[in-house]
Amino acid sequence: MPSAYASHFGINNVPYGIASSTKRATPQAATRIGDEVIFLGPLAETGTFKHISAPLPEIFRQTALNAFAALPKDVQSQVRSTIQKAYSRGDYSSAAEPIGDVTLHLPVQIGDFTDFSASKDHVLNASEAVTGTRAYPPAFMKYPSVYAGRSSSIAVSPKPVVRPHGQFVEDYTVPQKTIIFGPCRALDYELEVGAVIGKPVEGGQMLKAADADAHIFGLVLVNDWSARDVQALEMNPLGPFNGKNFATTISPWIVTLEALKKFEVPAPPRDETVSSFIDDKNAVNYAINLEVQLKRNGATETTCRVGFETMYWTFRHMIAHHTIGGCELRTGDLVASGTVSGQGDDEHGCLLEQTFNGKRPKTLSNGTELRYLNDGDEVRFTGVAGLPEDGVGFGDCYGVVMPAREF
């Protein structure tokens, strides 16, 4: 019987990850087709890629995909089509193992992690939940909001997340001033998509949005776990820090822009004129159907269904903004979208929005009250581009909430 996500990994996907197994103890480059993981180093050794002028056998043996991600797009494209042909011919089985036999690792070494806030609905909903007013940040019509995240805390799914300690006001739902220390009481998920940088952007290169795709290797799902009470207190004046830096989870397979090409959809029109460097006549999003499933006390419920195509700012916009001051982007850097939310009641990519910062709790189908995450809650993101039969998905990005540490 195929696994839950076999259908995400059709022949038109060919994502890249880092895998190991009993037989292949050293983590190394791999792809997944259906429920088979194909190790690319061993595949290269059979001569499969010998027509491609790149040191692939060596690159595929590395413990992170950075060197592969930095290769020219046409080389990556040849690798993809060669894998597809080898699979179709059946010339790959000595390099393949069942998905159940492998362990997946962080696919790239991530130098810097940047987290944007690119969804209009998220910005407005979060603003209302926290301040009572639906308002865009002062510059939101000119560029997406953004902060630098923590790269040391990024782990690959399915890493458990320990409820963090922190300092916060005693009751995060009402304005008051008593600051206490203890385990977070408002633990949240954030449904995001992340772009992994391929070809680096040199310091001072100052990209235009229209040219940014050349630097994106592919996309992953991202859970930007958030301690809302900790975050609320620290945000003024320098933005989120301990409210975010305890854990970020990404899905293990990087889906390339080439695989996603078919699912490009025009980005929403601009509400205001924007600066020429960030203006992108052909701005595109990707039609990716995202879902959040929350499992509590044995019962699973879908708490969010939203399309990634709703995003106001696209990855091209984000990357152009990121580089316009001269900032370098290195291969493997992760640039995430911020919470993906739409207009509907079931399109909230985080609980801050969905439960109005805990002030308007929902009742789950099993009767329990949902404000924020409880210990033991399991959070699973999934993403499928286009229709299920297109066979291009992200698998899942999963985490279970563990109780706070003793302190």
Catalytic residue among 8, 122, 215, 322: 122
Pattern of binders to its own copies over 13-52, x per CB under 8 A?
----------------------------------------
Q: How far is the CB of 229 from its own copies (least distance, A)?
A: 11
Q: Is 325 in the site for its own copies (CB under 8 A)?
A: yes
**How far is the CA of 392 from the CAs of 109, 153, 221, in angstroms?**
24, 28, 13
> Which position among 326, 344, 388, 403 is part of the footprint of its own copies (CB under 8 A)?
326
Rounded to whole angstroms, the Cα distance separating 1 from 99 reads 12
**How far is the CA of 231 from the CAs of 13, 106, 164, 352, in angstroms?**
37, 26, 12, 12
**Does 192 appear as a known binding residue?**
yes
Q: Is 248 in the site for its own copies (CB under 8 A)?
A: no
Q: Is 329 in the site for its own copies (CB under 8 A)?
A: yes
* Number of residues in contact with its own copies under rule CB under 8 A: 61
Contact by Cβ (8 Å): 29, 66: no
Side-chain-side CA neighbours of 154 within 13 Å: the count stands at 26
Going by C-alpha positions, the residue among 140, 115, 139, 135 that lies closest to residue 125 is 135
**Does 309 appear as a known binding residue?**
no
| Residues 270-309 contacting its own copies, CB under 8 A | 275-277
Contact by Cβ (8 Å): 118, 337: yes
Residue number, 96 or 230, with CB nearest to its own copies: 230
352: which residues sit within 8 A by CB, 6+ positions away? Answer: 126, 129, 130, 188, 226, 228
122 among known catalytic residues = yes
Rounded to whole angstroms, the Cα distance separating 208 from 220 reads 23
Pattern of binders to its own copies over 220-239, x per CB under 8 A?
-------x--x--xxxxxxx
> Which position among 34, 149, 252, 358 is part of the footprint of its own copies (CB under 8 A)?
149
**How far is the CA of 161 from the CAs of 9, 240, 276, 372, in angstroms?**
27, 18, 42, 14
User: What does the binding site for its own copies look like in residue numbers (CB under 8 A)?
Assistant: 111-112, 114, 117, 137-139, 142-143, 145-153, 162, 164-167, 177, 179, 181, 184, 203-204, 206, 227, 230, 233-243, 245-247, 275-277, 321-322, 324-330, 333, 405, 407
Binding site members for substrate: 231, 339
